[in-house]
Each structure stands twice: as structure tokens, then as C-alpha cells.
Amino acid sequence: MSLPRNPRLDWKALLPVIAVWISLLSLMVGPGHALAVSLLLLAALPLGVKLAFLAGPLTAAAPTDRPGSSGEPPFISIHIATHDEPPGVVLHTLESLARLDYPAARHEVVVLDNNTPDPARWKPLADWCARRGGRFHFHHDTGVTGAKAGALNLGLQRTDPRAEWICSVDADYAVEPTYLRRAAEIIATRPGLSHLQFPQAYRNVSPCNAGASAELGQYFDAYALRSAGTESMLLTGTLCVVRRDALEKAGGWPVDTITEDAHLGLMLLKGGRGLFIDEVQGRGLMPESLEVLGGQRQRWAAGNAQVLRKVLAGSSAWPGLSVLAQLAAWLCGACLLLPGIALAAVIPAFHPQLPWLAAGFSLLVLAEALLVCATAKGSLRLRGQAAVARLALLPEAAIGLVQGLAGRKLAFVRTPKDRPRRNSGRVRPLSWVLAFAAALFLVHGDASIALVSGTLWLVATARGWLARSLAAGEKRGTRPRPEVLLTPIRR
């Protein structure tokens, strides 16, 4: 399948615009202030987009129930892309799909294992599907390019010709028996939809990782829920249902970004509509170490920044505020001020701008945490823990933002689900920045440097708290053990 190639962003074409902007500002406020104002506006853009969207009226989606509807339900093909996954986890997902309350003749399950080198990791899945037969099909491929998107595109080629809708389910997500039936009811009431998205939820939540779970859920509580009224929901990869002809018209799952789900959602919204359904129809496994959570957040931030970069490049129609806010949900522009802070601290001519840049940096970091606290669901304590978790993951989000905007070619990294990594809470770039800020404070004794240092120490403290909380969960054995992976699913 040939995929459309998106044009690269021509930064040279933007240079005249940037030059005119800075020249005008320089005439009005001086060169130093022009640099500070430009950096502050750029850094505040993600937060400004999110605040503008969340401050608007909440428009509820129209009812999606259609009692007493008749007729043959649509044929739905469920695709599960796996790579080096723990067999027990995937088998739990397959067992849940075997219990679907949906006509067996109107759906299929296609398991797509790609590039798994150890047969012990994929043979149990092949054997299970062979024993079940019927609607379960297993494929093991090597040399697959494009990571998860590449595997899903192979699945699209192998889909039953009768399939009208394609459903993507992550390898660790155990779905409710009502999942497909509920999706079919919604499809019947919205004939013009191109895709549906159900929320992501987790079955291994405990008091130790509840804050991190609430922080992850804030995306759905705030951004996805508000998108339902305008039917402008993007995709988040799992528990989504996409109209087959719309997917094929888009060229399949895009392989040139590492958040292929959000990218595909943007492509589908060009001529379609996407609806968020605020009903939990499946639960997966939440990462239980800071390193894994951080790696996941870095990938999300980098991938969404890649998609935003393509929008700037003109490869996509300019999206509405809802879509921009969803893409910016994991982004915080405070990190973009650090080069300016360093420049103002070491070059005397720029010293007057240091207080403004330092104050902007601290305010943006704190505002990001307060926004999570204000829009997440749960008790005040739980929302506070979610805000601390957001602070803890800001370094990875910052690295991902810079990587995505810079156009760096990034590899898709699978989120491991079988063995938690150590919870050290360390990130080397943060340590370097802390050391640099401390050194500047000792040299200059400037209150602005002290403010930046204090903010960074706050982030480091949040990382330590989150790492210790997750480590406590590991010690208490909150992860599902292999022998209980096939227990009944509970809401």
C-alpha cells in the first residue's frame, strides 16, 4: 500500500516572517525585549491553546442510544498489533474478545505479530488462534517496517472483504463483552461518522499509581469530552473504530510519525467526523515505573509535535481549536525559554530580560500543573496527585517537544508490559539543567536564577515522589500476576 508523503516544513520560507516580527518588536521595545517577548509568546502557545479550548462552553454530544433498532449489524474487523509482548497478556485480551456479545458471523479478530524474534513469545498466540479457529486469525511477519502502523496496514490488506469498520485494540486491553454491540449502536445513530473513540482505562490501578492514572485520564476528562459536541475527536490508538473506506481513502495508517493514531485522526477529520464516547469499554495495563511512563510521554509529545509540524508545513488543512488542543495536551512550552534564560544570564546586554524569562518559565510550569488539577476527575487529593505526576513527566515532554519540532527522525518504542523497570526517578538532562542553574546562582546571586532553580527542583521533587510511589506499588504486588491474567473482567 502506498502512503501519501507529506512535504517537509520549509523553515527558510519562515525566516522573512520571523525577521519582520523581530524587527518590528525591536523598533517598539528594543532588541533585548523583542527576543524575550518572542520567546515568551512561543513558549505560551501550547498553554494558550489549551486554555482557550477548555474555557469555552461544554457542548454535550447528542444521545447515541437507539432502542429497538433492527437490521443486520455491521461487519467489524478487530486488529491487534503485537511485538515481543508477554503471551499471557495478549491471551487475556484474546479471551476477552472471545466473550464478545456480538454475532460471531459479523466480526473477526486479526492478530498481527510483527518482528518478534523469539517463537516462545508468539507461538502461544498462534496455537490459541488455531484452536479457536473461525473468526480468529493469526499472522506472524518479519521485516515489517513502520512499527505498529506498518503492522496495522498489513492487517488492512488481510481484512475480510465484508468488513465495513476496522477496530484497533492494544495487545494488553481486555474489552467488555458489550464493546462491539455498543459501537454498532452508535454507528447506527451516526451514519456520517468516520471514526469512534472510547476512553482508555486501566485495570492495575492502586493507591500507589492512582495519581498517574488520573493524570493520564485527564486527556479524556478534559479534551476528549469537550470534543464530543463538535464531533472533532482524534484517535488514541486503542478502543477506536474506524470506517474502512475512510481509512483506505486516507492511505492507511501513517508511518511517518510515531503517534500514528493522532495523525490518522487528523487525516480522517478532513472529510469526516470523529465522536468520543465517554464509556469505559476496556481496560489495559498502565506502565508502573517512571522510566516507562516517561518514555511513553516522550513518544506522545514527540509524535504530536511531529503532527503539528506537518500542519505548519501545509500538508494538512488548518485544524480547529479542538484538534489543536488535543495535539497540545501533552506539550508544555516552558522548556523553550531555557536557552533564552541561559543567554540572558551570561550576556550582560540581555540581563534586563532575565526576570521576565524566569518568571515566564516558572508560571508556565505551575500553570500546567494547576490546569491538570482543575480539569482531572476525582477528589481534590487525587487531582493534586495528578498535577504532581504531570510535573514529574515534564522533562520527557520537553525532550519530545523539541525532538518533534526539530524534525528529528524518531523510532517507535514499544511500551513494555511484562517487567517494570527500576524506579530511579533520574533524567540526565534535568540533572544537567539543575547543575547549570545552581552554578549560575552561585556566580550571580540573582533572584531570577533562584526562581528557575526552585522550579526545576520542584519538578525533580515531583519525580522523586512519583518514582517512590510506583516503587511502593511494585513491592506491594499491585501488578497482575501471570496466574491471574485470565480472571473475569471487572468494571
- Strands 107-114 and 282-283 turn out to be unpaired
Q: CA-to-CA distance for 438 and 17, rounded, in angstroms? A: 37
Stretch 451-477: mean pLDDT = 83
Question: Cβ distance 194 to 268 under 8 Å?
Answer: yes
Q: How far is CA 477 from the centre of its chain?
A: 27
Residue 139: HSE in the Cβ half-sphere, 13 Å Cα cutoff? 20
Q: Which amino acid, 366?
A: L
pLDDT of residue 116: 94
Which of 189-198, 282-291, 363-372, 417-426 is predicted least confidently?
Answer: 417-426
Q: What is the pLDDT of residues 197-245, one digit of tens each?
A: 999 999 999 999 999 999 999 999 999 999 988 899 999 989 999 999 9
Within 64-118, where are the H helices? 87-98
Position of cell 460471531? 104
pLDDT of 296 over the 70 cut: yes
Q: What is the pLDDT of residues 359-390, one digit of tens each?
A: 999 999 999 999 999 999 999 999 999 999 99
Q: CA-to-CA distance for 201 and 185, rounded, in angstroms? A: 21
Average per-residue pLDDT in the chain? 84
C-alpha cell belonging to residue 125: 498466540
Between residues 155 and 341, the one the model is more confident about: 155
- Out of 3.90.550.10, 3.30.70.100, 1.20.1250.20, 3.30.70.141, select the CATH number for domain 76-289: 3.90.550.10
The angle at the Cα of 270, spanning 266 to 276, to the nearest 5 degrees, equals 55
Position of cell 473482567? 489
Question: Cβ distance 334 to 394 under 8 Å?
Answer: yes
Ranges of beta strands (E only) in 58-132 are 76-82, 107-114
Q: How far is CA 354 from CA 333, 346, 451, in A?
A: 17, 10, 11
Question: Cβ distance 151 to 229 under 8 Å?
Answer: no
- Strands 195-197 and 274-276 turn out to be parallel
Q: What is the crossing angle of helices 338-346 and 447-475, to 10°?
A: 140
Q: Delimit the domains of the chain by residue range.
A: 16-57+324-475, 76-289
pLDDT of 132 over the 80 cut: yes
pLDDT of residue 171: 95
Q: What is the pLDDT of residues 303-321, one digit of tens each?
A: 999 999 888 776 555 678 8
Q: How far is CA 9 from the centre of its chain?
A: 23
Which of 56-65, 189-198, 255-264 is predicted least confidently?
Answer: 56-65
Closest CA to 330 of 49, 40, 16: 49
pLDDT of residue 139: 96
Stretch 264-293: mean pLDDT = 93
- Strands 76-82 and 107-114 turn out to be parallel
Which of 94-98, 265-269, 409-413, 450-454 is predicted least confidently?
Answer: 409-413
Q: CA-to-CA distance for 136 and 97, rounded, in angstroms? A: 10
Stretch 162-179: mean pLDDT = 97
Q: What is the pLDDT of residues 53-93, one digit of tens each?
A: 998 877 766 666 655 455 789 999 999 999 999 999 999 99
Q: What is the crossing angle of helices 447-475 and 428-444, to 10°?
A: 150
Q: What are phi and psi of 363, to 5 degrees?
A: -65, -40
Stretch 247-255: mean pLDDT = 95
pLDDT of residue 323: 93
SS3 at position 68: coil
Q: CA-to-CA distance for 79 and 413, rounded, in angstroms? A: 19
Closest CA to 171 of 415, 487, 420: 415
Percentage of the chain modeled with pLDDT above 90? 60
